[in-house]
Amino acid sequence: MASTPTCNLRIPGPTPLPPRVRQAMAEQMISHRGADFEALYREVVQGLAPIYGTRGDVLLLTASGTGGLEASVVNTLSPGQKALVVTIGVFGDRVAEIAAAYGVPVTRLSFPLGQAAEPEAVREALRRDPELDVVLVTHNETSTGVTNDIAAIAAAVRSARDPAPLLVVDAVSSLGAIEMRMDEWGCDMVVTASQKACMTPPGLAMIGVGPRAWPWIERAKLPRFYFDLLAARKYAGRANTPYTPAVSALYGLRAGLELMREEGLEAIYARHRRLAAKTRAGLQALGLRLLPDPAHASDTVTAAYVPEGCDGEALVERLAREHGLFVGEGQGKLKGKILRVAHMGCVDDRDIEEALVALERALAR
Amino acid sequence: MASTPTCNLRIPGPTPLPPRVRQAMAEQMISHRGADFEALYREVVQGLAPIYGTRGDVLLLTASGTGGLEASVVNTLSPGQKALVVTIGVFGDRVAEIAAAYGVPVTRLSFPLGQAAEPEAVREALRRDPELDVVLVTHNETSTGVTNDIAAIAAAVRSARDPAPLLVVDAVSSLGAIEMRMDEWGCDMVVTASQKACMTPPGLAMIGVGPRAWPWIERAKLPRFYFDLLAARKYAGRANTPYTPAVSALYGLRAGLELMREEGLEAIYARHRRLAAKTRAGLQALGLRLLPDPAHASDTVTAAYVPEGCDGEALVERLAREHGLFVGEGQGKLKGKILRVAHMGCVDDRDIEEALVALERALAR
């Protein structure tokens, strides 16, 4: 495993680990109730705050991204309370499914696959139904490679009524690679996970919680224990977590955040933009048609239709087996129809070039 | 951190990592939907089965032990359905709190701190109230260092009525160090976590699910999504998990299980028994009074009262700061009154001797 070249893991998470993160993952355990852990916790949270663009709380949960999304649902809603879920693909739908599993009547505002959400449609949906008090929206839809304009959506939510509904953002496959200004834009809760742009193994969900969100959380009546953010806030006050945290993932995340600080956020965003453009150009040069609306194509993952008559699942499998290149396949309705090439986290030009070469060879057969 | 001597981490989890586990934690990411991951998943599950003593399912959740306990609650109960929680300390109480958070009317059968649960009392409680259809009990109570006789409790549950209630066991701080014969004894669901006897960092909860448990799980109406074991079972069928798993923790767990296979389960249990006896003798030689009923003292963690007039929290803090020895402090009602020395996982005679020397020096002041 240790000999697997990092450059060939082009799925949209887990993303490749830089050497420094791998080294950090090997550190010895410490007491999760001791001073060393508290220092680790503080470094991680302080490293995350500028990436969120928040002066609010950033809480850590030992779970994958879906656990973080569930936390955002069960901490903001109550039985019978309506929620607006803005969905542009599989992961938006997943949020709606979580809410439905908890008995929350969900209004789905869906857009065609490959399209971004229209802010004006969000505002209209909120104006149509004054009972919609919480809005859940995806920042970057991993299944289609489309990025929503969260700044504009947040403005639409704010202008829909006064006081504005709560805005919860799934930024799992964007935060740290695509700009997020949580406080400035007016996002109240922003969820992400360790295994994406932060270049850390999966196992941690991180939730930014703005000051406007806490009254919702205090009122929320959906049942919760492990994911209760009130318990998380209580422990966060002493740089700790209510239940034994994934200590190694925090080691890894600290190292990943250190690398991100060294590169600088603007440089990271520019690199992702550049590699996304390179990937799109390369896939088109290979004759593939891109899925996303060009105005909203993602900087972290590019989805393209496989050629007519080609079995997408077989192609993805052959890329892995014969070329050692791991890309994402289509999910849901797009199963077998597309492939998804990630350019997220620890990735550079050569990685993209190698992926395109492997794909060219596989398609030539 | 890497220079921290492993031998001085004597808290009851996270436990020290053997070098081979640390090395495994540093492995590069792989696709969690690819063949390499499926092989990893299979090795982990096959390594766990003999430790559980089960031919049933063993499911993996990315969460800490409390998440696993929550999964055992939400997958077996329905709103309004009664549950019997047998508690002998903080972690038994926690299961009752989880059930209560989900609106389940809990009957608590509590025993004094330091005592084990009486199987006959469990049977009587079940006979008194025929609506008690699920029993939740702790195998090893970490907060008091007491081990319940699960074989006898399981027999009591079985004999209470026909068909017998479902038996759910919290084996977080026992499985892999204290014998568990899940199938033979008649335990229907057994929860553990990676950071205890399996010598792996925290981040994974493991749940053994016997064939008798599935009808309960299929009937259970408590809301759940991330912790839904029906989804976990579906993915387990193809050696996978519904949501991105903590891949590195699986690497670590595979290495930990390999070490356990090499040592042999009987040898591991004998080592834990020997080190527990050595710890108890050593603490008594230092003049400390042991908390647990001697007939039920735990093989993984020993709790002892601090000397009269001594502040337990200050002692634990001084042991860490001045002697580099990390032990557990009292929790709940025992806060400040006891210390807890773990002998769980990667631990040998010298580790216990060093802990006793450090404690002797700290007490001499």
Q: Is pLDDT at A7 greater than 90 in this prediction? A: no
pLDDT tens by residue, A90-105: 999 999 999 999 999 9
pLDDT tens by residue, B17-75: 999 999 999 999 999 999 999 999 999 999 999 999 999 999 999 999 999 999 999 99
Q: Is A30's Cβ below 8 Å from some Cβ in B?
A: yes
Q: Is B68's Cβ below 8 Å from some Cβ in A?
A: no
A1 contacts in chain B (CB < 8 Å): 27-28, 30, 36, 251
Tell me what pLDDT residue B5 has. Answer: 43
Residues 6+ apart with CB under 8 A from A116: A88, A146, A147, A148, A149, A293, A295, A296
pTM: 0.97
Average pLDDT over residues A59-83: 97
> Min CA distance, A218 vs chain B (Å)?
14
- Report how far residue A79's alpha carbon sits from residue A102's, in angstroms, rounded to the nearest whole number: 7
- Report how far residue B80's alpha carbon sits from residue B103's, in angstroms, rounded to the nearest whole number: 7
Q: Is A28's Cβ below 8 Å from some Cβ in B?
A: yes
- Report how far residue A17's alpha carbon sits from residue A4's, in angstroms, rounded to the nearest whole number: 11
Amino acid at A340: R
Tell me what pLDDT residue B83 has. Answer: 97
B320 contacts in chain A (CB < 8 Å): 31, 34-35
Tell me what pLDDT residue B210 has. Answer: 98
Q: Using the beta-carbon criterion (under 8 Å), do A35 and B9 form an inter-chain contact?
A: no
Q: Using the beta-carbon criterion (under 8 Å), do A6 and B28 form an inter-chain contact?
A: yes
- By Cβ distance, the residue of A9, A222, A226 closest to B31 is A9
Q: Is pLDDT at A1 greater than 70 in this prediction? A: no
pLDDT tens by residue, A109-129: 999 999 999 999 999 999 999
Q: Is A66's Cβ below 8 Å from some Cβ in B?
A: yes
Pick from A14, A59, A49, A39: nearest CA to A209: A59
**Strands, E, within chain B: which ranges?**
9-10, 57-62, 83-87, 106-110, 134-138, 140-141, 146-147, 166-170, 189-193, 204-209, 301-305, 326-329, 338-342
A106 contacts in chain B (CB < 8 Å): none
Residues 305-344 of B with CB under 8 A from A: 320, 326, 329
Q: Is pLDDT at B4 greater than 80 in this prediction? A: no
Amino acid at A30: I
Give me the CATH topology for the region B7-14+264-364: Aspartate Aminotransferase, domain 1 (3.90.1150)
Expressed in percent and rounded to 5, the helix, strand and coil fractions of chain A are 45, 15, 40
Q: Using the beta-carbon criterion (under 8 Å), do A16 and B33 form an inter-chain contact?
A: no
Residues 6+ apart with CB under 8 A from B55: B49, B183
Q: Is B246's Cβ below 8 Å from some Cβ in A?
A: yes
> Min CA distance, B160 vs chain A (Å)?
31
Q: Is B33's Cβ below 8 Å from some Cβ in A?
A: yes
Tell me what pLDDT residue A136 has. Answer: 98
Tell me what pLDDT residue B80 has. Answer: 86
Q: Using the beta-carbon criterion (under 8 Å), do A4 and B28 form an inter-chain contact?
A: yes
In DSSP notation, A333-347 reads GGTTTEEEEE--SS-
Residue A6 pLDDT grade (very low, low, confident, very high; cuts 50, 70, 90) = very low
- Kindly give the residue spans of alpha helices, DSSP state H, lying in chain A: 19-25, 35-52, 65-74, 90-101, 119-128, 150-160, 182-185, 213-219, 229-236, 247-263, 265-285, 312-323, 349-364
- By Cβ distance, the residue of B2, B31, B329 closest to A28 is B2
Q: Using the beta-carbon criterion (under 8 Å), do A223 and B223 form an inter-chain contact?
A: yes
End-to-end CA distance of chain B: 28
Residue A80 pLDDT grade (very low, low, confident, very high; cuts 50, 70, 90) = confident
Average pLDDT over residues B287-306: 98
Per-residue b or e along B167-201, where b marks 16 or more CB atoms closer than 10 Å to that residue's CB: bbbbbbbbbbbbbbebbebbbbbbbbbbbbbbbbb
pLDDT tens by residue, B162-202: 999 999 999 999 999 999 999 999 999 999 999 999 999 99
Query: Residue A270 is encoded by which pair of tokens?
Result: 């520019």
pLDDT tens by residue, A118-158: 999 999 999 999 999 999 999 999 999 999 999 999 999 99
> Min CA distance, A160 vs chain B (Å)?
31
- By Cβ distance, the residue of B2, B202, B251 closest to A244 is B202
Residue B227 pLDDT grade (very low, low, confident, very high; cuts 50, 70, 90) = very high
On average, the pLDDT of chain A sits at 96
Average pLDDT over residues B354-361: 97
Residues 80-119 of A with CB under 8 A from B: 97-98, 101-103
- By Cβ distance, the residue of B36, B225, B245 closest to A98 is B225
A22 contacts in chain B (CB < 8 Å): 26-28
Q: Is A67's Cβ below 8 Å from some Cβ in B?
A: yes
A101 contacts in chain B (CB < 8 Å): 223-225, 228
User: Quick check: bond before A163 cis, omega within 30?
Assistant: yes
B189-193 and B166-170 as β-strands: parallel, antiparallel, unpaired?
parallel
Tell me what pLDDT residue B6 has. Answer: 44
Tell me what pLDDT residue A5 has. Answer: 43
What superfamily would CATH give domain A8-14+264-364? Aspartate Aminotransferase, domain 1 (3.90.1150.10)
End-to-end CA distance of chain A: 28
For A21, the 3-state DSSP assignment is: helix
- Report how far residue B93's alpha carbon sits from residue B106's, in angstroms, rounded to the nearest whole number: 11
Q: Is B23's Cβ below 8 Å from some Cβ in A?
A: yes
pLDDT tens by residue, B101-134: 999 999 999 999 999 999 999 999 999 999 999 9
- Report how far residue B52's alpha carbon sits from residue B175's, in angstroms, rounded to the nearest whole number: 7
- Spelled out in words, what is the top-level CATH class assigned to the domain B19-260? alpha beta
- Report how far residue A28's alpha carbon sits from residue B85's, in angstroms, rounded to the nearest whole number: 35
Domain ranges within chain A, ordered by starting residue:
8-14+264-364, 19-260
